[in-house]
Structure 1
Amino acid sequence: MTASENGHLFVLVHGLWGSPSHMLTIEKALKQLLPDVSKERIVTLKPLSNRFWKTYDGIARCAEKVIAEILYEIETLKQNDDCKVVKISIIGYSLGGLISRYVVGKLFDIGFFDDVQPVIFCTFATPHVGVHFFRDNLFDKTANAVGKFILGLTGFELFLRDHKKLLVKMSLPNSSFYKGLACFQKRLLLANIRNDRSVAFYTSYITSHSPFDEWSTLKVKYLKYLPPSKIAGVVVRPKFVDLERSYRVDPSREAPINIQEATSLLRRNKVLRYSFIFVLASIIIPFYIPLILCLSLYVSGYSILKVKLLPSPNIVRHWKEVRRAIFEGGEVNLKHAQHGEENRIHRHELSKHDTFKGDTSSFTEHGMENVLYAKSRIYNRGSSIENDYQSTEQKEDGMESPVEALGDESEGVNLIKATCTAEQRASILSSLIRRKTLIDVDIEVNASIMKNHADKLSVKDHTRFPLFTDDTKLAISEDQATIIDNLNTLSWEKIAVYHDLFNAHDGIVARRGAKWNPKGASTIYLWASILRNHLKTGES
Structure 2
Amino acid sequence: MAAASGSVEEEGGLRAEESPSGGVDVWSDAVSSHAPEHLLVMVHGILGSTNDWQYAANEFVKQLPDDVIVHCSEKNMNTLTLDGVDVMGERLADEVLDVISRKPELSKISFLAHSVGGLVARYAIAKLYRHPNSTFDSKAEGTICGLEAVNFITVATPHLGSRGNKQVPLLFGFITIEKVASRVIHWIFRRTGRHLFLTDSAEGEQPLLQCMVEDYGDLYFISALRAFKRRVAYANADCDYIVGWRTSSIRRNTELPKWEESLCEKYPHIVHEEYSEEIDHEKCQDLVPDCDFDLLEEKMVTGLRRVSWEKVDVSFHASMRSFAAHSIIQVKYAFVNEGADVIQHIIDHFQL
Instruction: Please give the TM-score of this superposition, normalised by the length of structure 1.
Output: 0.49
Counterparts of 2:307 and 2:239, CA distance in 1: 28
CA 1:54 to 1:210, structure 2 compared with 1: closer, same or farther past 3 Å? farther
Report deviation, 1:172: 1.4
User: Which one of the candidate residues 186, 189, 192 is aligned to 1:154?
Assistant: 192
1:166 match: 208
Counterparts of 1:5 and 1:220, CA distance in 2: 42
1:484 match: 301
SS at match of 1:35: coil
Alignment of 1:449-460 (within 5 A): 456-459=273-276
Flag structure 2 segments of 5+ consecutive residues without an equivalent: 1-32, 132-141, 166-172, 279-288
Counterparts of 2:98 and 2:258, CA distance in 1: 49
Counterpart AA for 1:8? H
Report deviation, 1:6: 5.5
Task: Give the % identical residues.
Answer: 29
User: Which one of the candidate residues 155, 158, 168 is aligned to 1:124?
Assistant: 155
Contact conserved, 2:130 with 2:145, CA < 8 A, in 1?
no
User: Which one of the candidate residues 221, 226, 235 is aligned to 2:260?
Assistant: 221
2:337 match: 517
Q: Deviations over 1:95-114 (max 9, x none)?
A: 00000000110001588636
1:8 match: 38
2:315 match: 498
Counterpart AA for 2:333? R
User: Which one of the candidate residues 47, 57, 71 is aligned to 2:97?
Assistant: 71
Is 1:22 the equivalent of 2:52?
yes
Report deviation, 1:125: 0.3
Report deviation, 1:509: 0.5
SS at match of 1:457: strand
Moved more, 203-212 or 115-124: 203-212
Counterparts of 2:75 and 2:43, CA distance in 1: 10
Q: Deviations over 1:137-194 (max 9, x none)?
A: 5433322222244311111111111123111111015650110010001110100013
Counterparts of 1:46 and 1:473, CA distance in 2: 43
Report deviation, 1:210: 7.2
CA 1:476 to 1:146, structure 2 compared with 1: closer, same or farther past 3 Å? farther
Counterparts of 1:183 and 1:137, CA distance in 2: 38
Contact conserved, 1:210 with 1:474, CA < 8 A, in 2?
no
Counterparts of 1:114 and 1:71, CA distance in 2: 8
Counterparts of 1:207 and 1:219, CA distance in 2: 13
1:193 match: 237
Report deviation, 1:65: 1.2
CA 1:182 to 1:142, structure 2 compared with 1: closer, same or farther past 3 Å? same
Report deviation, 1:459: 4.1
CA 1:204 to 1:125, structure 2 compared with 1: closer, same or farther past 3 Å? same
Contact conserved, 1:240 with 1:495, CA < 8 A, in 2?
yes
Q: Deviations over 1:83-122 (max 9, x none)?
A: x211110111100000000011000158863621111100
SS at match of 1:161: coil
Counterpart AA for 2:57? E
Is 1:35 the equivalent of 2:74?
no
Contact conserved, 2:164 with 2:294, CA < 8 A, in 1?
no
Counterparts of 1:193 and 1:458, CA distance in 2: 16
User: Which one of the candidate residues 76, 99, 119 is aligned to 1:50?
Assistant: 76
Contact conserved, 1:238 with 1:526, CA < 8 A, in 2?
no
CA 1:146 to 1:109, structure 2 compared with 1: closer, same or farther past 3 Å? farther
Counterparts of 2:151 and 2:111, CA distance in 1: 6
CA RMSD in angstroms comes to 2.7
CA 1:159 to 1:476, structure 2 compared with 1: closer, same or farther past 3 Å? farther
Is 1:113 the equivalent of 2:144?
yes
CA 1:476 to 1:154, structure 2 compared with 1: closer, same or farther past 3 Å? farther
2:122 match: 101
Counterparts of 1:35 and 1:486, CA distance in 2: 37
SS at match of 2:332: coil
1:144 match: 182
CA 1:6 to 1:502, structure 2 compared with 1: closer, same or farther past 3 Å? closer
Q: How many residues align?
A: 283
CA 1:130 to 1:474, structure 2 compared with 1: closer, same or farther past 3 Å? farther
Counterparts of 2:159 and 2:290, CA distance in 1: 17
Instruction: Give the greater-gyration-radius structure (CA).
Output: 1
Contact conserved, 1:133 with 1:144, CA < 8 A, in 2?
no
Report deviation, 1:201: 0.4
Counterparts of 1:99 and 1:122, CA distance in 2: 12
Q: Which has the higher helix share?
A: 1
Structure possessing the higher relative contact order (Cα contacts under 8 Å, 6 or more residues apart): 1
Alignment of 1:50-449 (within 5 A): 50-78=76-104, 84-108=105-129, 113=144, 115-134=146-165, 135-163=173-201, 164=204, 165-172=207-214, 176-209=220-253, 220-224=259-263, 226-228=264-266, 237-242=267-272
Counterparts of 1:506 and 1:475, CA distance in 2: 32
Counterpart AA for 2:152? F
Counterparts of 1:148 and 1:33, CA distance in 2: 41
Counterpart AA for 2:41? V
1:351 match: none
SS at match of 2:270: coil
Counterparts of 1:477 and 1:133, CA distance in 2: 7
Report deviation, 1:477: 2.2
Report deviation, 1:494: 0.3
CA 1:196 to 1:210, structure 2 compared with 1: closer, same or farther past 3 Å? farther
SS at match of 1:120: strand
